[in-house]
Amino acid sequence: MSATTDHPIEQVGGVTAKYVDQRLGSNKFLGRNLGKVFPDHWSFMLGEIALYSFIVVLLTGTFLTLFYDPSMVEVVYNGAYVPLKGVEMSQAYASTLDISFEVRGGLLIRQMHHWSALIFVAAIAVHMFRVFFTGAFRKPREFNWLVGVGLTALALGAGFTGYSLPDDLLSGTGLQIIRGILQSIPLVGTWAAFLVFGGEFPGTEIIPRLYAAHILLIPGLLLGLISAHLMMVWTQKHTQFPGPGRTNNNVVGYPLLPVYMAKAGGFFFIVFGIIALIGGLVTVNPIWIFGPYMPDQVSAGTQPDWYIGWLDGALRLMPNWESVIAGFTISWNVLIPSVVIPGILFTALAFYPFLEAWATGDKREHNLLERPRNAPVRTSIGVVAIVFYGILWIGGGNDIIATTFNLSFNALSWTLRILLIVAPPIAFVVTKRICLGLQRKDREKLLHGYESGRVLRLPHGEFIEVHQPLNYKELAVISAKEDLPVLPAPVKTDSDGVRNPHYRVDQLRHKVSSFFLRDNIERPTDAEIEAGQAHAAHSAALEAPLREYEDLDQDPVGHGGVLHHPGMPLTNQEQIDQRQ
C-alpha cells in the first residue's frame, strides 16, 4: 500500500470513490447520507411495497412490449390454444394469446405484470391510509401528499389502460362503459368520445392509443412523480412514531448503511419473489376464457380489477336520473357516479391537509406522527371515506353477492343505496366515540398508572388496588399527545367600534375549528403525569415484598418495568460504557 498519505479515502480502497468524486463531488453526498438514519416501523414498509411492485411492473412490462402487438386489425387465430382456433380476433388479442401460450415464460411474466400492478395499487391505497391516519401529511409534508394523490390517480389510469390492452371480451366491455361515461359529459362529451375512440365505438384506434398512454405517457409521469416523492422523503427525513428518545427534532432508527440498505434491499427481493411465486401459481385474468371482444357480446358475472370496483359499484347503485334541459340531455345516472363522485373524492383528498391546517390553526412542523385517537375528527373522516368507498365496492359485486347468497339483488341494491347515505354518519360518530374513549383511557393511565387488577391488603387492614406506573415506552408514546386549542370566536366590532372585515370567515373558521377540536381530552401537565406515575409506583412498591415469593414481574420492560431488579436490561449507553 502506498505510504504517501494516510487519508482514509485512500485506505478504504477509495480509488474509485475518489475518481468519481473528482468528477461529481459525490463524496460530499455520500458522507452525509450513507449514515442517514431511517426510522423503523412495519407500516413504513407499505410505501416500499408500492415502490418495489412498481419496479416489477416496469421490468415485466418491458418484456411484454417485445411480444405484444397493439393492433386492432382482425386476424384469424391459428395458434396453440385449440378452443380459439379459426376464430376472428384482433391482432392485440392474438398476440396476448401468443404471449400466454407460445412464448416460454410469457404467461409468467404476464401474470407477474398483472399481479404486481394489483399489488401496486393496493399498496398505494394502504400506504395512503397510514399517512392519513397518522397525520404524516401535516407540515412540512403537504406537497408530498399532493404528489401522492397524483400518483394514486396515475396508478388507476395505468391499471385501467393496461387492463384494456388484451382486447378480450371483458376489457372491451370496460371500454364500452368508458365510452358511455365520456358521452355523459355535458357539452363536449359526445365529441370527446368520438375523438378518444377515433370515431364510433369500438373503432380501430383505441387499443394503440391506450398502448401509447400505458407504456409511455403514464409510466413517464409515474417515474417523475415517484422520484419527486422519494426525494422529498429524503430531504425532509422520514416521520417517526412517538417513543422513548424520539422527538420532533430527531430521527431514531437504523443508519442507511448497512442495516437499512440490507433490510430495504432485502425487502425488494422479498416483494419480487412473492410476485413471481403468485405469478407462477395463481392465475389472473385468463383472457383465453373470455374470448375476443365483440360489441354485441357479454358474459354475466364479470368483474373489473379490484380498484375499479368502487366506480362500477357507484354506477350500479345510482338512481336512474336523466333530464333534458333546453333540449340537451344530461345523464345524471352516469355523470354523478363516474365523473362527479371520483372528482369530488380526489379533490377532497388533495385539499385535506390544507383544510385541516386551516381549521386547527396548526402551523407547526410535525415530524412525530400522531396516534389516530389523538385526532378523532380526522380519524373519523378517514373511516367515513373508507365506509363510503367500501359500500360502493360491495355494490360493484352486487350481482355476485346476490347469486352467491341467494339474495334478491333489487333488495341488495336498495340496502346498499340506503347504507351509502346512512352508514357514513354512523361511522363518523362511532369512530369519534372510540377515539375519545381511548383518549380518556390514556389520560387515566398518565394520571394513575395501570390498574393492575390486584387488590392488596395493607398491614393496618386497608384494601387498595395496586396501580402500576407505565413502562418507559408506553409513557413516551402516550405523553407525546399534543393539544390544540379551538380557534377563538371572532368579535364583530372591536372595543374601538371598528368592524372586523373578516368576521364571517373567522366565524366559519371558529366553527370548523370547534368541530375538529372541542371534544379533545386534555393531556395532563408534565407535573401531573410525574405525580401520577410516582403515586402508582408507590402503590406498586407496597406490593414489592410479595414479589420475592411470586415472580409477578416476568417482563421488566413490560408493565411495571420501573421496579428495579437485577434482570433489568442495560440501556444502549450502559452497554457502550461497559464495552469501553
Residues 6+ apart with CB under 8 A from 484: 360, 361, 362, 517, 520
Grid cell listed for 266? 432485502
Residue of 86, 319, 497, 545 that binds other proteins (CB under 8 A): 319
Nearer to other proteins, 389 or 409 (CB): 409
Residues 487/513, Cβ–Cβ less than 8 Å: yes
Q: What count of other Cβ atoms lies within 10 Å of the Cβ of residue 406?
A: 6
Which cell is 8 given? 482514509
Which residue is associated with the grid cell 402508582?
536
Shortest Å, Cβ 428 to other proteins: 27
With CB under 8 A as the contact rule, the residue among 4, 320, 406, 554 that binds other proteins is 320
- Select the span of 193-201, 340-348, 383-391, 489-497 touching other proteins (CB under 8 A): 193-201
Site for other proteins in 21-80 (CB under 8 A): 32, 35-37, 40, 72-74, 80
Site for other proteins in 106-145 (CB under 8 A): 107-108, 111-112, 140
What does the angle CA 61 – CA 346 – CA 157 come to, to the nearest 5 degrees? 20
Residue 359 lies near other proteins (rule: CB under 8 A):
no
Which CB atom, from 194 or from 306, has the smaller least distance to other proteins? 194
* Choice between 413 and 415, CB closer to other proteins: 413
Q: Which of residues 19, 62, 78, 199 is near other proteins by CB under 8 A?
A: 199
Which residue in 14, 79, 157, 198 binds other proteins (CB under 8 A)? 198
Within 13 Å and on the Cβ side, how many CA atoms surround 194?
A: 5
Question: Are residues 41 and 73 in contact, defined by beta-carbon separation less than 8 angstroms?
Answer: no
Give alpha helix (H) positions in 102-205. 106-133, 142-164, 169-183, 189-197
200 touching other proteins, by CB under 8 A? yes
Give 401 or 434: the residue with its C-beta nearer to other proteins.
Answer: 401
CB-based contacts of 398, cutoff 8 Å, min separation 6: 313, 316, 317, 409, 412, 413, 416
Restricting to residues 245-284, name those near other proteins by CB under 8 A.
Answer: 245-255, 258-259, 262-263, 265-281, 283
CA distance 123 to 128: 8
Amino acid at 349: L
Cell of 120: 401496486
- Which of the stretches 121-129, 321-329, 428-436, 450-458 binds other proteins when contact is defined by CB under 8 A? 321-329
How far is the C-alpha of 517 from the C-alpha of 521, rounded, in Å?
Answer: 9
Give the nearer residue to other proteins in terms of CB position, either 429 or 568.
568
Give the range of 19-27, 342-350, 373-381, 463-471 binding other proteins by CB under 8 A: 463-471
Those residues with Cβ within 8 angstroms of residue 464's Cβ, 6 or more apart along the chain or in another chain: 455, 456, 458, 539, 542
Tally of CA atoms within 13 A in the half-sphere of 57 that contains its CB: 24
- Closer residue to other proteins, CB minimum distance, 254 or 306: 254
Beta carbon of residue 144, minimum distance to other proteins (angstroms, whole number): 13
Scanning residues 493 to 552, which ones bind other proteins (CB under 8 A)?
A: 526, 529-530, 533-534, 537
Q: Which of residues 403-462 bind other proteins (CB under 8 A)?
A: 409-410, 413
Cis peptide before 292 (omega within 30 of 0): no
The residues in 285-314 that bind other proteins, with binding defined as CB under 8 A, are 293-302, 312
Torsion sign (Cα): 300, 305, 309, 315: negative
Q: Which residue has the cell 399532493?
A: 146
Q: Which is nearer to other proteins, 200 or 494 (CB)?
A: 200
96 in Cβ contact with 68 (< 8 Å)? yes
Q: How far apart are CA 261 and CA 271, in angstroms?
A: 15
Single residue of 60, 152, 183, 374 touching other proteins by CB under 8 A:
183
Using CB under 8 A as the binding rule, the residues of this chain from 205 to 244 that contact other proteins are 205, 235-237, 242, 244
What the block records as the C-alpha cell of 216 is 409511455
C-beta closer to other proteins: residue 100 or 520:
100
Query: What is the Cα–Cα distance from 178 to 198, expressed in whole angstroms?
Result: 14
CB of 508 to other proteins, least distance (A): 30
Binding segment for other proteins (CB under 8 A), chosen from 120-128, 385-393, 456-464, 572-580, is 572-580
Q: CB–CB of 184/335 below 8 Å?
A: yes
Question: Tell me, what DSSP letter sits at residue 459?
Answer: T
Q: Which stretch binds other proteins (CB under 8 A): 186-194, 341-349, 371-379, 494-502?
A: 186-194
Applying CB under 8 A, the span of 352-360, 424-432, 452-460, 565-573 interacting with other proteins comes to 565-573
- Count the residues of the shown chain that bind other proteins, applying the rule CB under 8 A: 149
- Considering beta carbons, is residue 12 or 455 the nearer one to other proteins? 12
Q: How far is the CB of 413 from other proteins (least distance, A)?
A: 7
Q: Is 327 in the site for other proteins (CB under 8 A)?
A: yes
Helix (H, G, I), strand (E, B) or coil at 136: coil
Q: Which residue has the cell 368520438?
A: 194
Site string for other proteins, 468-497 (x = CB under 8 A): -xxxxx-xx--xx-----------------
Q: Give 382 or 561: the residue with its C-beta nearer to other proteins.
A: 561
